[in-house]
Structure formats: structure tokens, C-alpha cells
Chain A
Amino acid sequence: MVDMTTLGDDAIAAKGWFKSHKFLILRRLSQLGILALFLTGPWFGIWIVKGNLASNLTLDVLPLTDPYVLLQASLSGVVPETAAIIGVAIVLVFYYLVGGRVYCSWVCPVNMVTDLAAWLRRKLGIRTTSQISRSTRYWMLALTLILPLVVAGGIIWELVNPVSMMFRGIVFGMGAAWIMILGIFLFDLIVAKDGWCGHICPVGAFYNLVGSKSLLRVNALDRQACNDCMECYVVCPEPQVIKPALKGEKKGLSPVILSSDCTNCGRCIDICAPEVFSYGGRHAKKIDEYKREGEINRGVRA
């Protein structure tokens, strides 16, 4: 069992504080920076990006549109404008390349809420688990795509979607949406570990599918260096993705984390003292190549 009071200490000792929090800091800068781009307009009158994550316009030239929302709109019978189609294409290509769930860990504002809940769980030692399956999110995704087809009244998921609600709330006005955000926080804190992002959120499920063959992946290329401290499993929001890459050498599995559940958040890279993990391409190393190299490395180390 990992000792929560010393979680991360090894990494700090080995690499220093900054390097063991590097991607965490970068992610927060990314999440807050994206919000800031939308807020300079309404706050200071400097218009960089107009709109919100559903659809926006950067510097009056670059349109970006959320493919998930536009898909729901299309299912309710809408023919979008050209700008929206271009915007969707750009977004899809981007997430196809860097990993769909980069949206979850580097863009989505709810991630800061659920990360805070997960951090508090560790600090307070809350160990409750629930029976919710991780595949629930795909059922939710299917539901949100069926609803516009069968129920009159349009994009029904967007009436309650906490992801768009939080971002729109910050940029345009929150109303009572904070209650939903508080609800998600408490759900993640008390009911289920990574309950919202890891089990229920259909937005994440959609981006998961978008990035299922993405090029940028986290890998455990240096997996022989693993000292079995288990800390990566503790901080990872989707810990089931680590094992095949980290411990799959005997089974001949690739050291690249191939599961598209992985959010490419890089917490495993930060927390790992022996620096097993790194970002790399999907085909960073062919497995045979890796093995050969591994033998050489082992020879060197011995």
C-alpha cells in the first residue's frame, strides 16, 4: 500500500520539486490560460477569443467548434455553417494527433475540480468506492446522441452538461451552475474516486473515441527501471491503462500506453522517481527493437 503522507517525496528527492510537478503546472497553465484568452475580452475589452468551448472565433479569423456539440445539433436536424465545419475539422485533427483526452486533462475546467477532489481524497484518506462501471460513460454518450433524435427540444444534454456549463459560466455568467460543479466535486470526493471524469462524463467518452488512434502517447520505455512504488497508479485518473505498458514486458506488450482512456496528463511522468515514463509517439519503438535495446541496457547496467 502506498503511504499517502510521503506520496511524491521520492520524486522530489530524485528530480527536484519543479521537475516532479512539471506537467501538473503546465496543465494548470493551459487550463487557466485558455480561460484567460476568453476572459480578456469581457474583463478588459481586449478580444482574443470570442465565444466559448462550444464554438469560438480567435482574433476574428480562426473558428473552432466542439465536434461533440455540433454532432448533437446535427442529429437534431441542423445544417451548420461553413465556419463551424472548418472549426470542427481543425479540432478533430488536433485531438487525433495529440490524444482525444488531452481535452480532459489540458482544456476542460471541470478537471481542476475533480483533480482537487482526488487530491483531497488522498489527503483525507477517503477510500469509498462505488459500483459504477467505467463503461457507463459510453452509455451516457449513446444516450446524449439518441436524445436529440427522439425528444423534441433539441440538444438536451447541453441543458445540463457540467463541462460546457462551467466554462460558459465563467465566461458568460454562472447562475446556479455552481451547484452542479459542487455536486461533481462532492461526488468525486465522497462517492467514487474519479467518479465523474473516469466513469460518467460523455464528453470525455467522445474525445476518448476521437483520440483512440492518436499519435502522442505516454510510454513506459524505461520500464525496467520501475521500482514498484505504485505511486503512478495512485495519482493516475485512469490507472487501468498503466499496467499493460508498465508490466507487460513478459507478455510482449508494447511499453506505449495505448489505451485511449489515458488522458495524457503526464502525472505519472511527474510522480515517477526513476523516470520510467515519458511522452512519445504511438510507434515510438517497435516492441522487438525495445527488447533488443532492453537487453543491451541491462548488459550495461549489470
Chain B
Amino acid sequence: MSETERKNEINRRQFLGNMLKTACGVGLVGMGLGAYSKRASSLPADYIRPPGALPEEDFLGACIRCGLCVRDCPYDILFLGEVGDEVATGTPYFIARTGPCEMCEEIPCVVACPTNALDHDLKDIEDSRMGLAVLIDQESCIAFHGLRCEVCFNICPIRGRAISLDMQHNPRSGKHALFIPVVHSDACTGCGLCERACILEEAAIKVFPMHLAKGELGKHYRLGWKEKEKAGKALVTPDTEHRYNLPEGVRYDLQGEGLIIDGEAEETPFSSNPLDTLNSGFMDK
């Protein structure tokens, strides 16, 4: 090997040094990316995923940001997140207030998805759960003021089931009813038509992503009456019947007749006819 060639060769120390430098640099990039992804993967409250979207964490792994769902949406309500948006870059969303899901029967956005990020098992749009409508502001919803509106109830594509009207007494007028819209999570798909239709400046009914809209009962909770129904009998030992300490021939029926005296009712000092008592003195004379 000539002298110049030897100079051009890198020795083991240089090689390891360079490699370490590169590895550290790339490692730093990786840590930065990991940290950034934590922030970037939070789904803001007004960004609603298309129908059939997997739970957010799985969705972000499955969605390849191709935009085919956006293209196949006949109502052009879907958008891809842009850099600077609060939603993960390149992922599809819609904003219910400006462009809600029209709930196409064929669900073309799901059919277009090449990776199942929008679950192809979703066949009936009424089974989709894009989010959940929540009547978030009772103070401004005019139904609570006793005014007739019911726009959200009437626009709802699953009318009567996803939103029902609950009639309540109107304490202000004393003689009218309040027609209160009530959302039912077992039917609401989160399409957002109600949010767009809400007549207020700022909608009183809003669609939120599921994890924001729903509470969750503690996992250890058991509702006694449901458990009883399931088992067909009480799961706890029934209370022993309470026994009152009463004279012989006398019973006590709680929440019933009260004190009951069996047998000769005549033995009481007073007759059931008040005249008998009044006349009693004469009778003796």
C-alpha cells in the first residue's frame, strides 16, 4: 500500500468515531421525534375522525396519510391535517360545525382506505361512532328557556333515537312545557349534523371525540338491580323479616294497614259506632 493510499484509508478509530457521531446524531433526532409525536398525537376536541376510524392511537399507526378518503367523500367535508394544524400532520378529519358527516349509506371513505385505518368491518353507517353529540350548554340552549326549537332533534338522521325530546314542566310560566333535547349514546354516530344546525351563534350542542364526550363507570362497579336481573335472584342474603315485640294477637304492617288486631275487634273499649259511646250512660241507667 502506498503512502497516499494509506492516508486515504480511514483507520479503525476514525471509523468507530464517525459511526458513534452519526449514531448519536440520529439518536437525538429520534428522541426529538418521539417527544414531538407525543404532542402531535393529541386529538383536539373539534377535530372529528371519519367513520370507522380506529381508536386514536391505532389510527395514527394505521393511517398512511394518503388522502383517498378525502377524495372519495362526496360532500368534500374531509381534510388532511396540515403542518401547523393541531391534528397529526396528514391525517383526515372533519369539523362538525362547518362540514358534518352526511352519513352516506355506502360509506365511500371507508371503502377507499387502503390500510383499514378506517375499519372495513363497518358496513352500516349507523354503527359508526365518530364522536358523540353533547348538549354542552344548557344556559344558552333556548329549549331550556321554554322556547320551541327542536332543530337538532329534527335534523338528526337517526331522528328520535339519537336525540329525543324530554318534556319537562316550565316553572317560569307555570303552565307550559320545556322540550329538552336529550342525546343517547347508544344511537348517536357523532355525525355532527345537529352541531351544524344549532341556531345559536355558538352551538350549544357539540360533537366531541368519544374519549372527551364519555364518562366511564369504575370497572369495579356493579349495579345491584342489573346483577339481580342477570342472575335471576338476589346475590346477597335476603334480610330476615323484622319481628315487632307486640302483645299476642296484634300484628304490625309497615307501609300497610299499620297496627292489626286479629280476632275479636269487639273487645276494644270503644264501639266503631260513636253513638254507642254517647248512649252508653243511658243504657246503664
Binding site for B on A (CB under 8 A): 41, 47, 50-52, 54-57, 63, 65-66, 69-70, 73, 76-81, 83-84, 87, 131-133, 135-136, 139-140, 142-143, 146-148, 151-160, 164-165, 168-169, 171-177, 179-180
Contact = CB atoms under 8 A, between A and B. Distances in A.
Contacts of A81: 113-116, 120
Contacts, number: 170
B80 A173 contact: yes
Which of B21, B29, B37 counts the most chain A CB atoms within 10 A? B37
B170 interface: no
Is the contact region of chain B dominated by helix, strand, or loop, or is it mixed? helix
Given A73-B64, A153-B57, A168-B67, 15 more contacts: A51-B68, A52-B67, A55-B64, A55-B115, A69-B64, A70-B115, A133-B22, A147-B30, A153-B40, A156-B36, A158-B89, A165-B89, A169-B83, A173-B82, A175-B85
A133 B10 CA distance: 13
Contacts of A152: 41, 57
11 contacts: A77-B62, A132-B22, A135-B22, A143-B27, A143-B30, A151-B34, A153-B57, A156-B36, A158-B64, A172-B82, A175-B81
A111 to B, nearest CB: 20
Contact of A78 (B72, B82, B83, B116): B116
B83 A175 contact: yes
The winner among A131, A136, A153, A176 for most chain B CB atoms within 10 A is A153
A143 B84 contact: no
Given A154-B59, A160-B33, A54 B22 contact: no
A142 to B, nearest CB: 8
Nearest to B24: A139
A155 B60 contact: yes
Interface string B8-31: 000000000010011101110110
The residue among B61, B80, B117 with the most chain A CB atoms within 10 A of its own CB is B61
B72 to A, nearest CB: 7
Interface of B: 18, 21-23, 25-27, 29-30, 33-34, 36-38, 40-41, 57-68, 70-72, 79-85, 88-90, 112-117, 120
A148 B26 contact: no
A110 to B, nearest CB: 15
Given A55-B68, A65-B114, A136 B90 contact: no
Given A84-B114, A136-B22, A136-B26, A156 B33 contact: yes
Nearest to A83: B114
A136 B19 CA distance: 9
B63 A154 contact: yes
A172 B65 CA distance: 11
A73 B61 contact: yes
Nearest to A75: B61
B66 A56 contact: yes
Given A78-B116, A81-B115, A156 B65 contact: no
A143 B89 contact: no
A168 B65 contact: yes
Contacts of B30: 143, 146-147
B33 A159 contact: yes
A274 to B, nearest CB: 28
Contacts of A47: 71
B40 A50 contact: no
A66 B64 CA distance: 9
Given A73-B115, A84-B114, A158-B64, A176 B33 contact: no
A169 to B, nearest CB: 7
Contacts of B88: 159
Nearest to B72: A50
B1 to A, nearest CB: 15
Contacts of A65: 64, 66, 114
A38 to B, nearest CB: 10
Given A70-B115, A154-B62, A143 B37 contact: no
A52 B66 contact: yes
A158 B90 contact: yes
